[in-house]
Structure 1
């Protein structure tokens, strides 16, 4: 479990530190205060700087372009992907090659990730990239160092103008770097997971005790849910079926609103993150405020039972009030904490609210967002 986190030169964080993290952490703050970036930094760190997770972060931001490479009989045979890495560096600048991204945790578990751009004066041949970077185009490399592991080197190049402001990362689909950790970590954005992603999660849950936890989560919104199942293929009604008490036929999840799909995604990811990390951006998306206290109770219980550390963000006062209520009802009030990211110019700092302080703030309607 992370007890502290330091982020340097990653997106909006020039030099940021947060301490005394809890089992479940709710992150609040104004727009552009760094909440989503904070989750991304944790995601990259706990996944050991693995390249596919960096690509996932870039893709979720839309920092990617596609280029049709070849055509045969009028059809696209292959496609090249270009990931724009410029924007992951503080100030959107890579003019200083000595400025590296550093993300680390030093308490309880020693974790350290460094992403360093290096200038290259000659063409390099890197395994897996022989056909991806034509001779003469390679002008730099991205070096990803994690702990004592051998650094991963990725070639990068400029756009056709050679302007460093438009650094792009070439197609690396041929490079597969398996994660070095057996832990499962999940990052849920505001976009719900699709049928294929959920069905892969369900394969690990079905016919285990975790299945009942998912059903109990769905019962927060619909008390008559008895069972859940996935069809062999996606249908126009989502391919996810629910058995409701008193109903002779299964009901498609897609007919029951976005809140049901959101709580399903959260519950499935939570029980699948055993001994790992669950990150949820705008956790209250699609959820009616009166159900959010039950959601937080479920998250507290699951996090403690399965050794999951949770980081979630919100803009909603209702979500904060529900978090405080569930925390107050918990046997161990130290299970959760609220942190506000406060930004002043280039400086971003974390303001911690203890359970007692949060309780006073909620009762007296003191703004903490």
Structure 2
């Protein structure tokens, strides 16, 4: 398995300051206490897909930036990417991919601007009308100006207004570039019903292996198929099992089955790329962890997928470290922790991590 991303050096991003992760491995386990920056690391790794694309940065915005009445507010979402305690709003990090180091820097500047109410309503997803003969009203609104550079070359320039929920195409110089293959799985992705099963169904050998692993969740499983007959809109994935008289939609199964199918299909979709899994153990029962994790890691090795996973579960980390002797030498464990005004990190290879945990009683988290 090749190492595509070999180093990540974060100067400032969200709550992370001065974090340097060196000698990244084919399989990277990131752990630490809550709010230590695990999810933030995965977010920046997502940007590797195409750091000059505004659309890629939109994908980094977290669900807690959503106004349930009106949808995603870009202004609040982007504002939260910056360190709340610093007056200068800046994201800065270095990342080495395929042996080439990139320094990515995004700056935000703020000012009040007068905007026609018709335009303001448009970007806020509202209707606008005025009486005949009435002059259009002008509103004062906060504006965030964003610029992004890669090694000193400007790749992105755009502006976002307070309350904006509609995407206005920016001066996005990275939008036409071919994107790297990066697949990100959030802790709640399995509940959204979005899978990569088409990639699985095109690989019969891996499909059969996946069914064998899924017997830990339904011992009578026979097959998984895509059904778009008599379905309005997008089709559904159905599981045929000897336990039921007919095939049932995957959504009626428990979270464990859905999470396992999602993770295994994501591995195949990430072939020759990078797979990011936040809180990888969520919804997976401990009895099924060994077989599920073993298949995921060994298939990543086979398909040349570099893996980054986060967890704060001691048991899940132990299961992952010990699930495959074939992959143990490809693993590294990074423990993040706050130290004064920075985020520090401790690195161990897979074998050292097991030894430290089993023989020395060292807390890996």
Query: What's the TM-score, normalizing by structure 1?
Result: 0.79
Following superposition, the deviation at residue 122 of structure 1 comes to 7.9
Is 1:186 paired with 2:160?
no
Give the whole-Å Cα distance in 2 for the aligned partners of 1:145 and 1:348. 24
The aligned residue for residue 350 of structure 1 is: 345
1:333 to 303, 328, 332: 328
2:354 to 343, 356, 359: 359
Whether the aligned pair in 2 keeps the contact of 1:22 and 1:334 (CA below 8 Å) is no
Following superposition, the deviation at residue 61 of structure 1 comes to 3.6
- SS across alignment from 1:323: helix
The aligned residue for residue 283 of structure 2 is: 286
The aligned residue for residue 273 of structure 1 is: 270
Cα distance, 1:81–1:89 mapped onto 2, change above 3 Å: closer
Give the whole-Å Cα distance in 2 for the aligned partners of 1:171 and 1:216. 44
Give the whole-Å Cα distance in 2 for the aligned partners of 1:195 and 1:122. 38
Cα distance, 1:285–1:66 mapped onto 2, change above 3 Å: closer
Q: Deviations over 1:294-333 (max 9, x none)?
A: 2221122122121111111111111111122124x21x53
Cα distance, 1:130–1:192 mapped onto 2, change above 3 Å: closer
The aligned residue for residue 132 of structure 2 is: none
Give the whole-Å Cα distance in 2 for the aligned partners of 1:304 and 1:360. 23
The aligned residue for residue 141 of structure 1 is: 145
Give the whole-Å Cα distance in 1 for the aligned partners of 2:352 and 2:191. 39
Give the whole-Å Cα distance in 2 for the aligned partners of 1:172 and 1:153. 17
Q: Structure 2: any 5+ residue segments left out of the alignment?
A: 125-137
Cα distance, 1:61–1:255 mapped onto 2, change above 3 Å: closer
The aligned residue for residue 257 of structure 1 is: 254
Cα distance, 1:221–1:121 mapped onto 2, change above 3 Å: closer
Is 1:25 paired with 2:58?
no
Following superposition, the deviation at residue 251 of structure 1 comes to 3.4
The aligned residue for residue 94 of structure 2 is: 104
Q: How does 1:206-217 map to 2 (within 5 A)?
A: 206-209=201-204, 210-217=206-213
Give the whole-Å Cα distance in 1 for the aligned partners of 2:295 and 2:13. 32
344-353 or 131-140: bigger deviation: 131-140
- SS across alignment from 1:88: coil
Give the whole-Å Cα distance in 1 for the aligned partners of 2:144 and 2:256. 45
Q: Deviations over 1:326-353 (max 9, x none)?
A: 24x21x5321111111212322111112
Give the whole-Å Cα distance in 2 for the aligned partners of 1:40 and 1:269. 17
Following superposition, the deviation at residue 116 of structure 1 comes to 1.1
Q: How many residue pairs end up in the alignment?
A: 336
172-181 or 82-91: bigger deviation: 172-181
Cα distance, 1:154–1:288 mapped onto 2, change above 3 Å: same
The aligned residue for residue 295 of structure 2 is: 298
Whether the aligned pair in 2 keeps the contact of 1:114 and 1:144 (CA below 8 Å) is yes
1:65 to 40, 43, 67: 67
Following superposition, the deviation at residue 356 of structure 1 comes to 2.6
Following superposition, the deviation at residue 225 of structure 1 comes to 2.4
Cα distance, 1:307–1:37 mapped onto 2, change above 3 Å: same
Is 1:114 paired with 2:105?
yes
Give the whole-Å Cα distance in 2 for the aligned partners of 1:8 and 1:216. 45
Query: What's the TM-score, normalizing by structure 2?
Result: 0.79
Q: Structure 1: any 5+ residue segments left out of the alignment?
A: 69-78, 158-167
